[in-house]
Chains A and B, each alone.
Chain A
Amino acid sequence: MNVILIAVIVLGGVGLVSALVLYLASQKFAVYEDPRIAQVAEVLPQANCGGCGYPGCSGFAGACVKAADGGSIDGLLCPVGGQAVMEQVAGILGMQASAAAPKVAVVRCTGTCDARPHGVEFDGAHSCRIQNMTGMGETQCLYGCLGEGDCSHACLFGAIKVNPETRIAEVDETKCTGCGACAKACPRGIIELRPVGPKGRRVVVLCNNKDKGALAVKECKHSCIGCGKCVKTCEKFEAITLDANLAHIDPDKCKMCRKCEDACPRGAIHAFNFPPRKPKTVAPVNGLQTTDNGQQAAAPKSEV
């Protein structure tokens, strides 16, 4: 009996003292945190990808609360959760979410093994950045995809993979959140974040080659040679610009007419997610513009 009593007293005493210490410590070292931060963090995806530019989701939540105190949460976007999550965040903070176009990563290289032969073989640590330090890399193109997969290592969503056959990174649009981690990881800056576009449609120059035409032709079958034909076809909308022998399509100005795609002699311009074309018709235009041959303006919308 005595033993039990001693045990109860000792253990109870230890428990009480510990509880007291814990209580005092929690009082002494308490840190005030805005309860809204936790609320906001709860609706965030908790992927901690850093795609928003803040260290993890709680960092982003803190930034949102701070911005809300400042009056507006414009410019803050969780690329993973997208508009839906931002609306929830805005609701918690009593703000209005601004509309931001969701983005998707685009690998601007189509230099497959056929188009761009691998003349030498790289032997070393499997990293694009390291292969890039050798200079040209395995192919003759200084601007093309190295195919070691730094982007797929950087992607937290498994949305980008190097296709072993073409040795070029490919984006799985259903998984891509547009966080931009792959674009940062690519040592050659091949990956561009583009607005997803209406119905996922977009027209992009899939090449990053800034060499002069004659050289670019030698380097790759699908290289942009800076000939400017696409610029001419797009005179009306001025969506395409030529900089350092490389064409670029401004997504805000592009009207998705796909004329540039046909004009490109190198096949470097690609249209994503358009319905398959009928033979001989050229472009499913979106009805606004008038074209030289009127019958093509009547695009087969039924296929959408």
Chain B
Amino acid sequence: MSKLIISLSPHVHGGDTIQKNMYGVCLALVPALIASLLFFGLGSAIVMATSVVACVAFEWVITRFLLHRQSTILDGSAILTGLLLGFNLPSNLPVWIIILGALFAIGVGKMTFGGLGQNPFNPALVGRVFLLISFPVQMTTWPQPGQLTAYADATTGATPLSIMQHAISAGDASILKELPSGLDMLVGQTGGCIGEVSAICLLLGCAFMIWRKIITWHIPVSIILTVALLSGLLHIANPIYADPLSVIMSGGLMLGACFMATDYVTSPMTARGQLIYGICIGALTVAIRCWGAYPEGMSFAILIMNAFTPLINTYCKPKRFGEIRKEANK
């Protein structure tokens, strides 16, 4: 018989692993990925493949040759970053820009801070915002859906978000009539980034993650409700602001609320903290969309709140067992 093992309790483990969680999120992204392939065809396939391969490759190179650590590419986090980065890009983006974005996402967004679990900001969003600021033209021209064989040559057009912003800046509510129908936005038959168009597929993935207990409901629900509430109020106050349903289903809101803001590493740990985080992201998103220079506010809102996460963690403690009675007795 080999040596007995001793350790402190507990002696059993629930069997949950990082891989299960990471690949669980990847699986939850599959419906949206399929939808994007149906709408953007070849362009989507090229961008997604490039993004994932580049992220995994950079992770491998950095862990292997720069940090001299055991390679962590199999834990699924690099694949996830690649998927999410790809989802946040237009389907006609040149390959070299995508590779640059992946390098920034993995290299600067994640590895400079020490790798998995250490990064203060969501790496995929860091990559996306880097590209958005560096290549504003390429990053803000979105192909129209339905051009299955087109890539760089795809014809581009307005997205729901640009229509909304145009309506606000022109102060003309009739422009909003150009918005695609609610059904089109729900399914994803609109222009936009690869992964963000199909609200229904993203919600499906989100439901899957909540069912598998990968995430809790707090962040997505609080973001979506806050955005709905605020944009509803604005819509009632002044009809140049779009109706809440279109706001929720347009742009990267669903993708951000369900997949980007819920990133483990950069979101608060307690339920109360997650609600505060979600509400703030929702409010910031509405503010940037309505009054900011960019049509889309989700990525900035999430990155801003990522910076506040340590603060929220410090001040939002979970309610301790027996806490209320303790105060009542005082």
A and B touch in the complex (CB under 8 A): yes
Interface residues of A (CB under 8 A from B): 118-124, 130, 133-134, 138
By the criterion CB–CB under 8 Å, are B7 and A123 in contact? yes
By the criterion CB–CB under 8 Å, are A121 and B8 in contact? no
A118 to B4, CA, bound (A): 10
By the criterion CB–CB under 8 Å, are B8 and A120 in contact? no
By the criterion CB–CB under 8 Å, are A124 and B3 in contact? no
CB proximity of A141 to chain B, nearest CB, Å:
15
A123 to B2, CA, bound (A): 14
Quick one: closest B residue to A117, CB to CB?
B3
12 A-B pairs with C-beta separation under 8 A: A120-B4, A121-B4, A121-B6, A122-B7, A123-B6, A123-B7, A124-B8, A130-B8, A134-B6, A134-B7, A134-B8, A138-B6
B5 within 8 A of A: yes
Nearest 7 A-B pairs (CB), nearest first?
A: A123-B7, A124-B7, A120-B4, A121-B3, A123-B5, A120-B6, A121-B5
A277 to B193, CA, bound (A): 82
What does DSSP make chain A's interface, helix, strand, loop or mixed?
loop
Given contacts A120-B4, A123-B6, A134-B6, 10 further A-B contacts (CB under 8 A): A118-B3, A120-B6, A121-B3, A121-B4, A122-B5, A123-B5, A124-B8, A130-B8, A133-B8, A138-B6
Quick one: closest A residue to B4, CB to CB?
A120
Chain A residues within 8 Å of B3, by CB: 118-121
CB proximity of A77 to chain B, nearest CB, Å:
39
Quick one: closest B residue to A136, CB to CB?
B6
Chain B residues within 8 Å of A124, by CB: 7-8
Chain A residues within 8 Å of B7, by CB: 122-124, 134
Binary interface profile of B, 242-257, with partner A (CB < 8 Å = 1, else 0)? Answer: 0000000000000000
Chain B residues within 8 Å of A123, by CB: 5-7
Interface residues of B (CB under 8 A from A): 3-8
CB proximity of A5 to chain B, nearest CB, Å:
33
A257 to B6, CA, bound (A): 44
Question: Among B4, B5, B8, which residue has the most Cβ atoms of chain A within 10 A?
Answer: B8
CB proximity of A47 to chain B, nearest CB, Å:
26
Chain B residues within 8 Å of A130, by CB: 8
A134 to B7, CA, bound (A): 7
A122 to B6, CA, bound (A): 5
A123 to B7, CA, bound (A): 5
Chain A residues within 8 Å of B6, by CB: 120-123, 134, 138
A8 to B35, CA, bound (A): 59
Quick one: closest B residue to A119, CB to CB?
B3
A121 to B2, CA, bound (A): 10
A124 to B3, CA, bound (A): 15
A118 to B3, CA, bound (A): 9
Chain B residues within 8 Å of A138, by CB: 6
A196 to B6, CA, bound (A): 39
A61 to B4, CA, bound (A): 52
A17 to B6, CA, bound (A): 68
A123 to B4, CA, bound (A): 10
Question: Among B4, B5, B6, which residue has the most Cβ atoms of chain A within 10 A?
Answer: B6
A41 to B81, CA, bound (A): 50
CB proximity of A182 to chain B, nearest CB, Å:
24
Chain A residues within 8 Å of B8, by CB: 124, 130, 133-134
A291 to B8, CA, bound (A): 54
Chain B residues within 8 Å of A118, by CB: 3
A133 to B6, CA, bound (A): 11
CB proximity of A158 to chain B, nearest CB, Å:
21
Quick one: closest B residue to A137, CB to CB?
B6
CB proximity of A4 to chain B, nearest CB, Å:
30
CB proximity of B12 to chain A, nearest CB, Å:
13
A120 to B4, CA, bound (A): 5
A123 to B13, CA, bound (A): 14
A134 to B4, CA, bound (A): 13
CB proximity of A147 to chain B, nearest CB, Å:
14
A120 to B2, CA, bound (A): 9
CB proximity of A120 to chain B, nearest CB, Å:
4
A121 to B8, CA, bound (A): 12
Chain A residues within 8 Å of B5, by CB: 120-123
A138 to B3, CA, bound (A): 10
A122 to B3, CA, bound (A): 10
CB proximity of A41 to chain B, nearest CB, Å:
32
A133 to B8, CA, bound (A): 8
CB proximity of A87 to chain B, nearest CB, Å:
44
CB proximity of A142 to chain B, nearest CB, Å:
14
CB proximity of B62 to chain A, nearest CB, Å:
26
A129 to B5, CA, bound (A): 17
A134 to B3, CA, bound (A): 16
Chain A residues within 8 Å of B4, by CB: 119-121
Chain B residues within 8 Å of A122, by CB: 5-7
Chain B residues within 8 Å of A119, by CB: 3-4
CB proximity of A235 to chain B, nearest CB, Å:
44
A122 to B8, CA, bound (A): 9
